[in-house]
Amino acid sequence: MRKSSLLLLMLTIVLSFALVFAGCAKKAAVKETAEEKQAVAEKKAAAETEEEKAAKEKAMKEAELREQERQKAEREKAEKEKAEAAAAAAPAAVSPIAGFEYIYFDFDKYNIKPEARETLKKVADWLNAKENSDYNLVIEGNCDERGTVEYNLALGERRAQSAMKYLANLGVAKDRMSTISYGKERPVDPGHNEEAWAKNRNDHFVVVKRKE
Amino acid sequence: MHGWGVQVNRFKFFLFLAVMAFFLEGAVAPVSSKVYIDIDSPSMQKFPIAITDFVKQGGAADRENTSMWFADQLARALKITGYFNIIEKSAFLEKPGQGALTSASIRFADWSVIGAESLVKGSFQYSGRELSADFLLFDVIQGKLIAGKKYTGQIQDRKNMVLKFAGEILYTLTGERGVFDTKIAFAGKKGRISDIFTIDYDGSNLLRVTNHKNLSILPNWSPDGKYITFTSYKNANPDLYIVNSGGGREKKLSEFKGLNLSGPWSPDGRSLLLTLSKDGNEEIYILNTQDGSMKRLTYDPAIDVSPAWSPDGGRIAFVSDRAGTPQIYIMDADGANVRRLTFEGNYNTSPRWSPRGDRIVFESMKNGNFQICTIDTNGGNLVQLTSRGRNESPSWSPDGRYIAFVSTVSGRAKIMIMNSNGSNMRVLHEGMDNYLNTCWSPHLNFD
C-alpha cells in the first residue's frame, strides 16, 4: 500500500507538471495565431470589394440558416428525450389485449379468483388465435405496498406462476410464456388505501411480438 | 475472495493516522474493569459528560475553527449513541479554550458542581499541512485521566480522529466500541427506479453504489465490508450481483430464470444465502463463495424466503407460508430441524438475527400496519418496538445495540435508527420517494 501510494504521488506530480507546461505552450500558440489573423483581417478589409461583400452576406445568411437548423434539431432532440422519459415512466402504449390485461388477487393470496377466469380465457383465446401465433406472453406478478419486499417478490412470482399454469391448461404453449415478479415495486395506483391496494395486487399480461 | 473475480478497490482512502499510546501524565491508568455505564440495565440513566473546546497550541492559526469543531463533533457522535447527556457549554465555569489540560491543574470541583461525571478535553496543533490532536477523557469524581490518545493526520482526517476517540470513550465507559466505523446500505427509490446507496451511521456521506436505471434492491454486506451483493432487474430478470461497496466494478453472480434474491453472507464469508424460484417454487439455497457450488436447503411447496444467519453461522431463520400465513421459522444451517418461531398474528416477516445471538428482529402486522418486533430465539419474550405509522425492513448494528428500519408515516418514508429496546429514535435519511431495505455494515475500521 505504502509503495503504491508513493508511486501514485510521484505520478500525480509528474502529470501536473506536464499539464502546466502543455497549458503554457498552448496559450502562447493561441496568442500567436490570433495576432496573425488580426493582421490578415486588417489587410483584407483595406482591399474589400463589392463581390466580397456579397459573398460575406451570403455566408452570413447560410450561417443563420445553419443556426436555425441546429436549434430545430436541439428542440426535436429535447422532445424526443421527453417522450422517451414519458414512455419510461408509463410504458403502456395501447396493448393489443387492452381490456383483459389484468387479473386481481386477495391480500397475501395467489389463487386464481373465479372472476379472473373469464379474463384468462380471453388471454388464452387471443394467444391461441392463428393471427397472434407470433406473440409471446410475459406475466408480471404484482403486490400491494404492505409487507416485506422479499415476501412480496415471492408472492408476485406465485401470482404470475398461478396464471401461467392456468393458461397452460387452456392450451397456451409453455414456451410462449414467461413470468417476472415486481413484488410491490411497480404499483399501478400510488395511493395508500384499500382501493389502490386492490388494483396493485395483480397479474399484468404483456404480449410481445417474437423476434424473427 | 479472489474467486469472485472482483478486484479489491485499490484506490482506498489513504489514511495516515499515526495513533500512539499517549503518556502525557506518566502512565495512563489501564482500563479498569469499572463499568461506568451499564447499557444492559433497564434503568440506564444517560451519563452526564462535559466536552470543552480544544486548546490550540503552537503559532499556526486555527484553520476552520478546529477548536470548537472537535468539541461539537465529539458531542454529536456521543449524543447519537443515546447513552450520554451532553452538558451545555453555557453551564461551564471554566473559560472556553483557556482550561488546564492535566489532572493536576483541572479544578474538578468546577465540573462536578455542574453535574459532569466525565470530562473531555483536548489540544491540537497545525504544522504545515499536518494536524495533530490530543484527546483526553477524565473521571471527574476520581479526578484522574482515564483515556488519552494522540492522532496525527491531515485536516480532512479530523472527522475520523473524532470518531476514533468517541470509540475510545465508549469503550472506557461501557466496555464496547460502538458503531462509529459503520455504514448502512439501503435501496432508495426515485419514481420507478431504485438504487443501492450507503450512508455513514450518523447520516453523513451518502454514496450511490449502483446506477442501473432500474430496480436494484436487497443489499447485503460481505463480512469484511468490501462487497455488497444485491438483486437487480437490469437484464429484465431479478438477478444476483456483487459490487465493491464503494461502487464501481460489479459482476453478476446468478441469473436463474425467476427470482434470484440476495440474502445475507455467512459470518465467515464463505457462503451466502439466496432465494431462487427456478423450479417454479421459492426455495432457499446456500451459495459457496469459494467454488460457486450451490446447495438447496428448503423443500416445501409453500413460499420459503428471507433467510438470515445466526451469528455463529449454525442456524438460519427464514419466512415460510407453509402453515397458511407468512411466519418465521428456524432451521439448522444444513436445512434440518425446521421449527416454527412466531405464532402471534398472521403476518411475520423480515427476520434478522441479533449479532449478540439472543434475539431476532422482524416485522409483524398489527391492526393492519407493520411494526418492528423482537423475540427470543426460543419464541419467548415478544416485544413490539414501534407503533407509529408503518415500520419495515429492520437490520441490526454489528454490536447488536441498534436497529435500522424503514418508517412510513403519512405516506412519507424515512430510514430510522433506534436503540434495540425501541428508545432514542432518530432519522438517518429522508427525502427519497421510498426506501426498500436496510442492511447495517460490519465494522469497517475507518477504511
Q: What is the DSSP letter of B302?
A: S
Establish if B26 belongs to a structural domain. no
Name the domain boundary from B145, B174, B203.
B174
Q: Are residues B168 and B245 in the same domain?
A: no
- Window from A80-94, A192-206, B100-114, B369-383 with minimum mean pLDDT: A80-94
Average pLDDT of chain A to the nearest whole number: 78
Residue type, A42: E
Residue B80 main-chain phi, psi, to 5 deg: -60, -30
Contact B319 A150 (CB under 8 A): yes
| Long-range CB pairs of A86-94, under 8 A, 24+ apart, other chains included | A88/B192, A89/B191, A89/B192
The model's confidence at residue A31, banded by pLDDT at 50, 70 and 90, is very low
Q: At which of B124, B152, B174 does a domain end?
A: B174
Per-residue pLDDT at B366 = 95
Q: How far is A4 from chain B (nearest CA, A)?
A: 9
Size of interface A-B (CB pairs under 8 A): 89
pLDDT of the residue at B140: 96
Residue B27: Cβ-neighbour burial (10 angstroms; 0-12, 13-18, 19+): exposed
Query: Does some domain include residue B216?
Result: yes
Q: Which chain B residues have a beta carbon less than 8 Å from that of A151? A: 303, 305-306, 319, 326, 349-350
Instruction: Please state the ipTM of this predicted complex.
Output: 0.86
Indicate which CATH number applies to the domain containing B77: 3.40.50.10070
Q: Is B181 on the interface with A (CB under 8 A)?
A: no
Within this chain, do residues B190 and B94 fall inside the same structural domain, yes or no?
no
Closest CB from A148, A161, A182 relative to B350: A148
What's the mean pLDDT in A21-49?
44
Of B352, B359, B435, residue with least CA distance to B394? B352
Q: Which of B10, B194, B306 sits opposite A185 (nearest CB)?
A: B194
| CB of B307 closer than 8 Å to CB of B273 | yes
CB-CB under 8 Å, A180 with B237: yes
**Residue B296, beta-bridge partner list:** B285
At B60-82, the pLDDT tens digits run 888 789 999 999 999 999 999 99
| H or E stretch at A6 | helix A2-46
Q: Which of B14, B192, B259 sits opposite A154 (nearest CB)?
A: B259
Q: How many CA atoms lie within 13 A of B242 on its CB side?
A: 22
Among all chains, which residue has been given the C-alpha cell 489573423? A37
**Domain A92-209 superfamily per CATH:** OmpA-like domain (3.30.1330.60)
Asked if the Cβ–Cβ distance from A179 to B258 is below 8 Å, we say yes
Percent of chain A with pLDDT over 90: 50
CA distance B368 to chain A (A): 9
User: Rounded to whole angstroms, how far apart are CA atoms A201 and A195?
Assistant: 11
Alpha-carbon distance B362 to nearest alpha carbon in chain A (angstroms)? 10
Mutate to test the interface with B, among A109, A151, A188, A192 (most CBs of B within 10 A): A151
C-alpha to C-alpha distance for B238 and B190, rounded to whole angstroms:
19
Q: Is B13 a domain residue?
A: no
Amino acid code (one letter) for A131: E
Residue-level pLDDT at A74: 73
Q: Is the pLDDT of residue B306 over 90?
A: yes
Domain count, chain B: 2
Residues B138 and B200 both lie in one domain:
no
B367: left (phi over 0), alpha (psi -120 to 50) or beta: left
CA B109 to chain CA centroid, nearest Å = 37
| Domain map (residue ranges) of chain A | 1-89, 92-209
Residue B36, in any domain of the structure? no
C-alpha cell at A82: 421527453
| Residue B59: band (very low, low, confident or very high) from pLDDT cuts 50, 70, 90 | confident
Give the tens place of pLDDT for each residue, A84-111: 555 555 555 788 999 999 999 999 999 9
Mapped onto helix, strand or coil, the DSSP state of residue A101 is: coil
Quick check: A132 contacting B, CB < 8 Å?
no
Look-up of cell digits 423482537: B374
* A212's grid cell: 424473427
Helix B158-174 to helix B66-81 angle, to the nearest 10 degrees?
40
CATH of the domain at B340: 2.120.10.30
Local structure of B364: helix, strand or coil: strand
Residue A60: pLDDT above 90?
no
Q: Are residues B280 and B397 in the same domain?
A: yes
The domain in which residue B321 lies consists of 183-440
How far is B243 from A8, CA to CA, in rounded Å?
Answer: 24
Say yes or no to pLDDT of B40 above 90. no
Do the strands A135-142 and A177-183 form a parallel or antiparallel pair, or are they unpaired? parallel
Alpha carbon distance B309, B306 (integer Å): 10
In this structure, of B14-18, B359-363, B400-404, the range with the lowest mean pLDDT score is B14-18
Residue of B nearest to A161 (CA): B280
User: A64-76 burial by CB neighbour count: b if 16+ within 10 A, else e?
Assistant: eeeeeeeeeeeee
Nearest-5° angle of CA B17, CA B221, CA A180?
A: 150
Flag whether residue B351 sits within 8 Å of chain A, measured between CB atoms. no
Residues of B in contact with A186 (CB under 8 A): 192
A137: three-class secondary structure by DSSP: strand
Q: Are residues B208 and B348 in the same domain?
A: yes
Concatenate the DSSP letters of all residues of B101-153 into one string: -STTTS-HHHHHTTT-SEEEEEEEEEETTEEEEEEEEEETTTTEEEEEEEEEE
pLDDT surpassing 80 at residue A208? yes
- Check whether B388 has a pLDDT greater than 50: yes
User: B235 and B315: one domain?
Assistant: yes
- Name the H helices within B151-238: 158-174
Same domain, B230 and B132: no
**Whole-angstrom Cα distance, residue B126 to residue B316?**
52
Q: Which amino acid is at B348?
A: N
Whole-angstrom Cα distance, residue B28 to residue B137?
A: 11
How close does chain B come to A25, measured CA to CA in Å? 32
Asked if B148 and B28 count as a contact pair (C-beta separation under 8 A), the reply is yes
Q: For chain B, give percent helix, strand, coil, nearest 5.
A: 10, 40, 45
Q: Which residues pair with B194 in a beta bridge?
A: B189, B215
- How close is the nearest chain B Cα to the Cα of A153, in Å? 8
Mean pLDDT value of segment A140-167: 96
**Inside any domain, residue B23:** no
Consecutive H or E run containing A65: helix A50-89
**Rounded to whole angstroms, how far apart are CA atoms B198 and B207?**
5
Helix-helix angle A114-128:A149-169, to 10 degrees? 60
Residues of B in contact with A88 (CB under 8 A): 192
The reported pLDDT for the residue numbered B84 is 96
CB atoms A151 and B259 under 8 Å: no
Residue B10 within any structural domain of the chain: no
B306 vs A contacts (CB less than 8 Å): 148, 150-151
Are residues B204 and B330 located together in one domain of the fold? yes
Whole-number average pLDDT of chain B? 90
Q: What is the pLDDT of residue A5?
A: 57
Give the span between the Cα atoms of B357 and A145, in whole angstroms: 31
Residue whose C-alpha cell reads 438460519 in the numeric block: B316
**Bridge partners (DSSP) listed for residue B120:** B51, B137
What is the layout of strands, in order, in the sheet containing B434-440?
Answer: B207-208, B193-200, B183-190, B434-440
Residue with C-alpha cell 443501492? B196
